[in-house]
């Protein structure tokens, strides 16, 4: 019998209660990205002060505990006088009420001409998700303080009575609530990178990162703004420029203030970082669309005017933009972001404004620098020819799909299910492990593809070289969805792709090599949530009549602590590899959907992932050396 459903079953969440109940609506989730988004919300408010000429210095302090942050600025200070409508102080209002702030007014008061904090929810959301928040304001010759917990005031607005206070500004200290976030420790590198990026986008503003966990204090200040940033990004990506002078544009239109710099490089991909009012727009939007449209039109007009396109060569937009590394920063009065996380801009008028500004300026730049333009055109034509060759090679591979079983790799043990739903492909390390997996699997829905040893490192490899590699070519054929520009998710032959390697350092290396391949050549698999990593046990622990499986040393220690207090001495077996496991053991621990553990591969920060992949898997060994040296103290043991 159905339960009674009437108006009494409806729930109305009041004030910040909704934020604590559904935090994902406001910060995107309670994972690491959501945790750090709380810092960005407060930091963006300080940046808004600097952006509008009211602050010249911002300091971000990570406290020794690692889970508390203070962001302070020397701006005007949040108002502390009482709001006539609510009877609350301005400080309490912005920290406890959604959609309260000084950025909604269109009355010409000029408090904020442009801003990143637009919805009036950022500070109050952070307050709601903090177990403790302390706000300190200096203004009108006095210092004020107010404490909060879980979004609720814990003290009244207190005024410091001793002497006159110099200067003005706001400091927000907060500690995320562990009841909301599974992990509340901030990543110093993530905080420092964000602060450094802000210093590039707001030239002349002093940004300070004080990391009390290490005692390190770093000051960022870039007078040349995004021009310095371009060099930083280019060096970070090991992208060598093909011309010395970047294209730079600074222009103010009726709809936007535009600042843009980009340069063609020897890299095989396009990399543009875009920002709106200092906010990172990782998902792009109308401003990036305007840049691409203006760039494409300018190049095509230049090619047609000077009759530079060779016969038989078809130049695409991708050819034109291949190797471009650029920074686009726009400031607009009323940006319309897609959601509170502000990762995509939706203003249609910005697209036409940037398109209209870029096209004539870039054409004039090319015409004024003929030798430089000649090198760029040569690079574009070469990209077109290389792309045509890659398309032909890729098409040859992608045609080998499930339509003909004869075309599938001979070492693939396919499943018998005719439909893709609930089918799985396990990519296994070596023939020995592949043999155990083939015997232990369920033939109906589980396929096994063994690979021979460590596959090609594809971080710096072109598509042709990738397809010439037999192991990766077999893998691409087994998947059936094509690769690179010919990728088609609808043709993927399996519901889940699962990487299954040994639980030791060699296995982790093989998994990393495969992740590099998928990230660079089939990223749609990751964004669609189809790629997984299996978690086979490294240890078997027998205590009395009970058997436990440990994924690593820490897991083994936990099992021993929880179950090792009996009379029987524990028997510990370390597996040398998956091939050493009996088929039934492999099924019980790793293949059985009811008992196994899988990690779904996801990307929360595309820019950071791209940089880490480039550092760890790229040709330059110095980046890996720095990575190892910076983290040497974190290693408790090395698996050799």
pLDDT of residue 398 exceeding 50: no
Global model pTM greater than 0.85:
no
Provide the pLDDT confidence category of residue 400 given band limits of 50, 70 and 90: very low
What pLDDT is stored for residue 405 in this prediction? Answer: 41
Residues 22-77: pLDDT tens digits? 888 888 888 898 999 999 999 999 998 998 889 999 999 999 999 999 999 999 99
- On whether the CB atoms of residues 444 and 416 are closer than 8 A, the answer is yes
Whether the per-residue pLDDT at 109 is higher than 70: the answer is no
β-strand partners of 218? 209
Distance of CA 48 to the CA centre of its chain: 23
**DSSP string across 165-219:** PPS-EEEEEEEE-TTT-S-----HHHHHHHHHHHHHHSTT-EEEEEETTTTEEEE
Burial (Cβ within 10 Å: 0-12, 13-18, ≥19) of residue 541: buried
What would the mean pLDDT of 405-434 be, rounded to a whole number?
Answer: 81
Tens digit of each residue's pLDDT (9 = 90 or more) over 608-619: 777 788 778 877
Question: Distance between CA 539 and CA 550 in Å, rounded?
Answer: 5
Question: Which of the residues 429, 471, 474, 615 is marked catalytic?
Answer: 429
DSSP code at position 309: P
Which region among 161-165, 175-179, 394-398 has the lowest average model confidence (pLDDT)?
Answer: 394-398
pLDDT band at 191 (very low <50, low <70, confident <90, very high): very high
The torsion angle over the Cα atoms of residues 533, 534, 535 and 540, rounded to 10 degrees, is: -160
3-state DSSP assignment of residue 139 = strand
| pLDDT confidence band for 116 (50 / 70 / 90) | very low
Domain ranges of the chain: 17-220, 226-393, 402-536+575-603, 609-640
Higher model confidence: residue 53 or residue 110?
A: 53
- What integer pLDDT is reported at residue 108 of this predicted model? 44
pLDDT score for 300? 95
Q: What architecture is the 402-536+575-603 domain classified under in CATH? A: 3-Layer(aba) Sandwich (3.40)
Decide if pLDDT at 118 tops 70: no
Residue 588 binned pLDDT confidence (cut-offs 50, 70, 90): confident
Overall average pLDDT of the 625-629 stretch: 73
Residue-wise pLDDT for 125-162, tens only, equals: 999 999 999 999 999 889 999 999 999 999 999 998 66
State how beta strands 539-543 and 546-550 pair: antiparallel
Give the torsion sign (CA, 295, 297, 303, 305).
negative
pLDDT classification of 104: cutoffs 50, 70, 90: very low
pLDDT value for 622: 75
Average pLDDT of the chain to the nearest whole number: 85
- Is the pLDDT at 233 greater than 90, yes or no? yes
pLDDT band at residue 399 using 50, 70 and 90 as cut-offs: very low
Asked if 461 and 497 count as a contact pair (C-beta separation under 8 A), the reply is: no
- Is the model more confident about 206 or about 277? 206
The model's confidence at residue 640, banded by pLDDT at 50, 70 and 90, is very low
**Percent over 70 (pLDDT), the chain:** 87
Give 216-227 pLDDT, tens digit per residue. 999 999 999 999
Is 605 known to be catalytic?
A: no
Given a cut of 50, is residue 404 above it in pLDDT?
no
| DSSP reduced 3-state for 221 | coil
- Per-residue confidence (pLDDT) for residue 12, from 0 to 100: 53
Instruction: Determine which one of 504, 553, 580, 605 is catalytic.
Output: 504
Please give the average per-residue pLDDT across 321-346, as a whole number. Answer: 85
Q: Which of 92, 319, 502, 615 is catalytic?
A: 502
Report the SS3 class of residue 589: helix
Contact assessment for residue 224 and residue 203, using Cβ atoms and an 8 Å cutoff: yes
DSSP 76-119: S----SBPTTT-SBHHHHHHHSTT-SSS---SS--S-SS-S--S
Exposure pattern of 436-449 as b/e (b: 16+ CB <10 Å)? bbbebbeeebbbbb
Provide the pairing of β-strand 446-451 with 424-429: parallel
Reply yes or no on whether the pLDDT at 536 is more than 50.
yes
Annotated active-site residue 355? The verdict is no
Indicate which residue of 236, 318, 506, 605 is catalytic.
506
Find the mean pLDDT for residues 498-518.
87
> Which residues, at least 6 apart from 470, have a Cβ–Cβ distance to it below 8 Å?
none
Return the pLDDT at 341.
60
Our answer to whether residue 502 is catalytic in this structure is yes
Q: In a 10 Å sphere around its CB, with 0-12 CB exposed, 13-18 middle and 19+ buried, how is residue 187 labelled?
A: middle
pLDDT at 397: 46
216-220, 309-313, 487-491, 597-601: range with highest mean pLDDT: 216-220
- Per-residue pLDDT of 547-584, as tens digits, reads 888 888 888 888 888 876 666 778 888 887 787 788 88
Confidence class of residue 302 from pLDDT cuts 50, 70 and 90? very high
Looking at residue 461, what is its pLDDT?
A: 78
Share of the chain above pLDDT 90, in %: 44
For 226-393, CATH number out of 2.40.50.200, 3.20.20.220, 3.30.230.10, 3.30.470.20 equals 3.30.230.10
Q: What is the CATH number of domain 17-220?
A: 3.30.565.10
Classify burial at 162, counting beta carbons within 10 Å of its beta carbon; exposed 0-12, middle 13-18, buried 19 or more.
exposed
Residue 393 is predicted with a pLDDT of: 54
pLDDT of amino acid 625: 76
């Amino acid at each position: 019998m159905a339960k009674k459903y009437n108006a009494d079953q409806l729930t109305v969440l009041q004030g910040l209660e909704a934020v604590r109940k559904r935090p994902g609506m406001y910060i995107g989730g309670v994972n690491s990205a959501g945790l750090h988004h709380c810092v960005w919300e407060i930091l963006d408010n300080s940046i808004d002060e600097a952006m509008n000429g009211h602050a010249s210095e911002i300091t971000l302090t990570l406290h020794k505990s690692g889970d508390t942050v203070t962001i302070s600025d020397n701006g005007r200070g949040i108002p502390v006088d009482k709001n006539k409508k609510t009877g609350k102080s301005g400080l309490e209002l912005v920290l406890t009420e959604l959609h309260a702030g000084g950025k909604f007014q269109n009355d010409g008061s000029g408090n904020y001409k442009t801003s990143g904090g637009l919805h009036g929810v950022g500070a109050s959301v952070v307050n709601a998700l903090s177990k403790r928040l302390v706000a300190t304001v200096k203004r009108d010759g006095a210092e004020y303080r107010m404490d909060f917990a879980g979004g609720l005031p814990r003290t009244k607005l207190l005024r410091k009575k001793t002497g006159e206070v110099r200067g003005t500004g706001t400091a927000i200290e907060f500690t995320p609530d562990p009841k909301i976030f599974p992990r509340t420790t901030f990543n110093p590198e993530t905080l420092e990178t964000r602060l450094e990026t802000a210093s590039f986008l707001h030239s002349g503003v002093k940004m300070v990162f004080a990391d009390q966990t290490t005692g390190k204090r770093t000051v960022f200040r870039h007078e040349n703004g995004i021009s310095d940033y371009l060099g930083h990004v280019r060096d970070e990506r090991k992208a060598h420029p093909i011309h010395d002078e970047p294209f730079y544009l600074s222009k103010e239109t009726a709809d936007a203030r535009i600042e843009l710099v980009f340069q063609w490089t020897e890299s095989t991909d396009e990399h543009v970082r875009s920002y709106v009012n200092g906010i990172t727009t990782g998902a792009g939007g109308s401003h990036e669309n305007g840049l691409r449209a203006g760039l494409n039109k300018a190049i095509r007009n230049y090619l047609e005017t000077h009759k530079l396109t060779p016969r038989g060569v078809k130049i695409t937009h991708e050819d034109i933009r291949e190797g471009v590394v650029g920074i686009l920063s726009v400031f607009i009065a009323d940006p319309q972001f897609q959601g509170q996380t502000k990762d995509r801009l939706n203003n249609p008028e910005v697209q036409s404004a940037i398109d209209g500004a870029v096209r004539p300026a870039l054409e004039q730049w090319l015409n004024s620098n003929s030798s430089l333009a000649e090198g760029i055109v040569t690079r574009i034509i070469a990209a077109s020819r290389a792309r045509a060759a890659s398309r032909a090679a890729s098409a040859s591979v992608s045609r080998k799909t499930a339509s003909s079983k004869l075309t599938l790799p001979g070492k693939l043990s396919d499943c018998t299910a005719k439909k893709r739903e609930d089918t799985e492909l396990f990519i296994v390390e070596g023939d020995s492990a592949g043999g155990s997996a083939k015997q232990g699997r369920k033939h109906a829905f589980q396929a096994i593809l063994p690979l021979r040893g460590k596959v090609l490192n594809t971080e710096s490899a072109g598509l042709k070289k990738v397809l010439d590699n037999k192991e990766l070519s077999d893998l691409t054929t087994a998947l059936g969805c094509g690769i690179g520009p010919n990728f088609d998710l609808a043709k993927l032959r399996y519901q889940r792709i699962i990487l299954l390697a040994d639980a030791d350092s060699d296995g982790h290396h093989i998994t990393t090599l495969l992740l590099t391949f998928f990230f660079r050549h089939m990223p749609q698999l990751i964004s669609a949530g189809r790629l997984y990593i299996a978690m086979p046990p490294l240890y078997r622990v027998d205590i009395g009549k009970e058997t436990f499986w440990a994924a690593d040393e820490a897991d083994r220690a936990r099992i021993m602590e929880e179950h090792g207090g009996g009379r029987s001495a524990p028997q510990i077996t370390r597996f040398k590899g998956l091939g050493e496991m009996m088929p039934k053991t492999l099924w019980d621990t790793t293949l059985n959907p009811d008992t196994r553990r899988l990690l779904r591969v996801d990307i929360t920060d595309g820019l950071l992932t791209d940089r880490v992949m480039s550092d760890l898997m790229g040709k330059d060994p110095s980046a890996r050396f720095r990575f190892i040296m910076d983290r040497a103290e974190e290693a408790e043991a090395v698996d050799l």
